[in-house]
């Protein structure tokens, strides 16, 4: 399985939080699965940190790598797909995750029900 962590799922995984469902935790930990983190999540976390709404590890990239997660850059194809999505959801970070999941064939690990109208594969975080 190829998984894309929504920002809250990433934060819960890194913090070893009980908020993450047992199924999500098992799938993320399964070495047979590819687990990716979008550059959009790093961007979202940096903005929230700058406004004082969130604390992020000092070297997020190294923390992600040490957790055996794969960084997913934002490509032109992802950007155009995000821009052409129906307006079910206005959050640009979440729209990028939907676009990346659709383009790359990823399952999004999330608790956000606003992803459902896009028909993307989901795994409850």
What local confidence, expressed as pLDDT, does residue 89 receive?
86
Tens digit of each residue's pLDDT, the chain (125 residues)? 999 999 999 999 999 999 999 999 999 999 999 999 999 999 999 999 999 999 998 899 999 999 999 999 999 999 999 999 999 988 999 999 999 999 999 999 999 999 999 999 999 99
Question: What pLDDT does residue 28 have?
Answer: 98
Q: Which residue has the tokens 């028909």?
A: 119
Domains of the chain in sequence order: 2-124 (3.40.50.1010)
Residue count of the chain: 125
Contacts 24+ apart (CB under 8 A), 25-28: 27/1, 27/3, 27/109, 27/123, 28/3, 28/109
The packing angle between helices 7-14 and 22-29, to 10°, is 80
């Amino acid at each position: 399985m190829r998984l894309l962590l929504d920002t809250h799922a990433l934060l819960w995984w890194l913090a070893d939080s009980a908020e993450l469902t047992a199924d999500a935790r098992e799938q993320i930990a399964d070495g047979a699965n590819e687990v990716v983190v979008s550059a959009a999540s790093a961007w979202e976390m940096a903005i929230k940190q700058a406004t004082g709404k969130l604390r992020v590890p000092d070297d997020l990239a190294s923390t992600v790598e040490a957790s055996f997660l794969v960084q997913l850059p934002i490509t032109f194809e992802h950007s155009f797909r995000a821009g052409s999505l129906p307006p079910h959801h206005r959050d640009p970070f979440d729209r990028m995750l939907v676009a990346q999941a659709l383009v790359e064939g990823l399952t999004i690990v999330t608790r956000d029900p606003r992803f459902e109208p896009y028909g993307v594969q989901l795994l409850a975080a």
